[in-house]
Amino acid sequence: MDKTREDILFFLEKDSRLTAKDLAVMLGSDEEKIAAELKAMKDEQIIRGYHTLINWDKTDREFVTALIEVKVTPQRDKGFDEIAERIYRFDEVKAVYLMSGGYDLTVIMEGRSLKDIAAFVSDKLSPLESVLSTATHFVLKKYKDHGIALEKKSSKDERMIVSP
Amino acid sequence: MKSFVNKQIRELPPSGIRKYFDLASSMKDVVSLGVGEPDFYTPWNIREEAIYALEHKRTVYSSNAGILELRKEISKYMNRRFGLKYKAETQVLVSVGASEDIDLVMRAVLEPGDEVLLAEPCFVSYKACIQMAGGVPVIITTKAENKFRLTKEELLSKITDKTKILFIGYPNNPTGAIMEKEDLEEIAQVLRDRDILVVSDEIYAELTYGGKEHVSIASLPGMYEKTLVINGFSKAFSMTGWRLGFACGPEDLIDAMTKIHQYIIMCAPTVSQYAAIEALRSGDTSVTAMRKEFDARRRFMLKGFADIGLDCFEPEGAFYLFPSIQKTGLSSDEFCDRLLREEKLAVVPGTAFGECGDGFIRCSYAYSIDNLKEALVRLGRFVSK
């Protein structure tokens, strides 16, 4: 990968609020050049969004996350892509990964309740023609997401205030 | 009652940093640019290895020079990173931080009255260690207009027949200066035909920026035999509190230093040594990410100083900036004292690193960007007053 792009993504992945101006200072480049790279990477679908990492457990929003292992029959000419797309088109599906090993697709979904998830699995997912079986696991607590521990034990700077 | 403390120690000035530490610690809501250690904590895999070592009763003494396995890793590391070949068995000593090596080498080498050329501004303990070992520090003042690099002319002007050691520390604390291969070559030319030992403190070797890689003076032709390289785990692997450093150099010198080390220290902490093995086997990727972060902050701060109107040479190593405050008309001490009292911002006066540091302050950028932003606001407000 181009060095400028690599550096932009290194910092942006950790803090999406950084502006082209900030990045230009941090990387010793100029603002127009960074802005152009950002746009190009968006056009090339390298950058697919600028999200916020939220610890929903700290809020009173009630919802359930489930991880569903799905076994499917791949289709001639299309492999797994078409069935994956059929699944990820549902709004409540947050992530779909093709896996190696004991099953084929990992589906991560959110619903308001266990019932919601159960309904989705039995009414939407299982009836799909290529789906052979599903195994649903509910997430009890999220400790770390996107490389960030959701509950930081202490943010105190342990260092002495001045040292040689 | 009469003090039992001897004259030399009585007269030895305390580190110029202590005063600010005491004052800053007594105040609330202080923002600091005063630390000399990374803000990254020791990577978990290294800490985990130490826990494993504790669980497996690795809590006993190690051999004096350090666990052989660690010395072998250090030997590989020095070769991999700096192209220096040292025999693990006879040319590597594991110490209680690079600071101990400074003390050891001075004691092992100096006879009373021997002169040690010291490039200042520099780390606070160099001069004291020379003096405590009976040596005479001869200061060479490096200059901002030379990017705080040591020049051949400056070196030549201070060499006498009593000169025993040239002591350099690059990448430099407090200036952030580096010495590139050509600069070192000039110094090497002067030293090749002379019996002067080079003591090179390379503790910040992993932290160089703008695509510039650290070069050790020991890697230049003819210099290997007359150079002691000091390094450690504090900065590169964020292991300051583990107290672990090392020295590599000629066999007779390492042997002599090991003798002193054996009597005064016995061995470096065993648990730290096991952790360090893990650091050297696995740490390169975390070092790379840390360097990238530091580089961005360095640029961020340079821009900030420029906006405030503080002159600062562009440092290419360590994690310090050394801006000039001469424009303000204040001495370094006054500047730092008032900055702390009026804006609750702690920085270190240049004078802590040698008298020639007057007119400068040391600002560390081992902080998050948010912290640096706040510090710049306070600094800007103070300077504009």
Chain A CB contacts of B303 under 8 Å are 25
| B21 with A161: Cβ contact below 8 A | yes
Q: Which residues of A touch B (CB under 8 A)?
A: 7, 10-11, 15, 25-28, 157-164
* B163-172 average pLDDT score: 98
For every residue of chain B, which 3-state class applies, written as one string? CCCCCCHHHHHCCCCCCHHHHHHHHCCCCCEECECCCCCCCCCHHHHHHHHHHHHCCCCCCCCCCCCHHHHHHHHHHHHHHHCCCCCCCCCEEEECCHHHHHHHHHHHHCCCCCEEEEEECCCCHHHHHHHHCCCEEEEEECCHHHCCCCCHHHHHHHCCCCEEEEEEECCCCCCCCCCCHHHHHHHHHHHCCCCCEEEEECCCCCCECCCCCCCCHHHCCCCHHHEEEEEECCCCCCCHHHCCEEEECCHHHHHHHHHHHHHHCCCCCHHHHHHHHHHHHHCHHHHHHHHHHHHHHHHHHHHHHHHHCCECCCCCECCEECCECHHHCCCHHHHHHHHHHHHCEECEEHHHHCHHHCCEEEEECCCCHHHHHHHHHHHHHHHHC
pLDDT band at B270 (very low <50, low <70, confident <90, very high): very high
Chain A CB contacts of B37 under 8 Å are 159, 163
* B74-83 average pLDDT score: 97
The answer on pLDDT for B294 being more than 90 is: yes
Nearest CA in chain A to B344: A161
**Which residue among B35, B41, B296 sits closest to A163, beta carbon to beta carbon?**
B35
Chain B CB contacts of A157 under 8 Å are 39
The answer on pLDDT for B254 being more than 70 is: yes
Q: What is the pLDDT of residue B283?
A: 67
Nearest CA in chain A to B369: A26
Q: What is the pLDDT of residue A76?
A: 81
**pLDDT tens digits along B299-342:** 999 999 999 999 999 999 999 999 999 999 999 999 999 999 99
| B296 with A11: Cβ contact below 8 A | yes
In this complex, is the C-beta atom of B68 within 8 Å of any C-beta atom belonging to chain A? no
Nearest CA in chain A to B33: A162
In this complex, is the C-beta atom of B124 within 8 Å of any C-beta atom belonging to chain A? yes
Chosen for mutation from B18, B26, B33, B35 (greatest number of chain A CBs closer than 10 Å) is: B35
Chosen for mutation from B18, B19, B20, B21 (greatest number of chain A CBs closer than 10 Å) is: B21
Q: What is the DSSP letter of A73?
A: P
Report ipTM for this prediction: 0.84
Chain A CB contacts of B299 under 8 Å are 25-28
Q: What is the pLDDT of residue A1?
A: 83
Q: What is the pLDDT of residue A77?
A: 81
| A163 with B17: Cβ contact below 8 A | yes
pLDDT band at B22 (very low <50, low <70, confident <90, very high): confident
Chain A CB contacts of B235 under 8 Å are none
Chain B CB contacts of A10 under 8 Å are 289, 292
What are the boundaries of each domain within chain B? 7-42+285-384, 45-282
* B228-256 average pLDDT score: 97
Q: What is the pLDDT of residue B188?
A: 98
pLDDT band at B18 (very low <50, low <70, confident <90, very high): confident
Q: Which residues of chain A have pLDDT under 70?
A: none
Nearest CA in chain B to A15: B369
**pLDDT tens digits along B207-217:** 999 889 999 99
**pLDDT tens digits along A68-105:** 999 999 888 888 999 999 999 999 999 999 999 999 99
pLDDT band at B92 (very low <50, low <70, confident <90, very high): very high
B35/chain A closest Cα distance in angstroms:
5
Q: What is the pLDDT of residue B93?
A: 98
**Which residue among A15, A28, A161 sits closest to B299, beta carbon to beta carbon?**
A28
Nearest CA in chain A to B292: A7
Q: What is the pLDDT of residue B327?
A: 92
Domain B45-282 class in CATH: alpha beta
Q: Which domains does chain A have, with CATH numbers?
A: 3-43 (1.10.10.10), 56-141 (3.30.70.920)
Domain B7-42+285-384 class in CATH: alpha beta
- What pTM did the predictor assign? 0.92
Tokens of B253: 């010198």
pLDDT-above-90 percentage for chain B: 92
Q: What is the pLDDT of residue B19?
A: 80
**pLDDT tens digits along B32-77:** 999 999 998 999 999 999 999 999 999 999 999 999 999 999 999 9
Nearest CA in chain B to A25: B300
pLDDT band at B21 (very low <50, low <70, confident <90, very high): confident
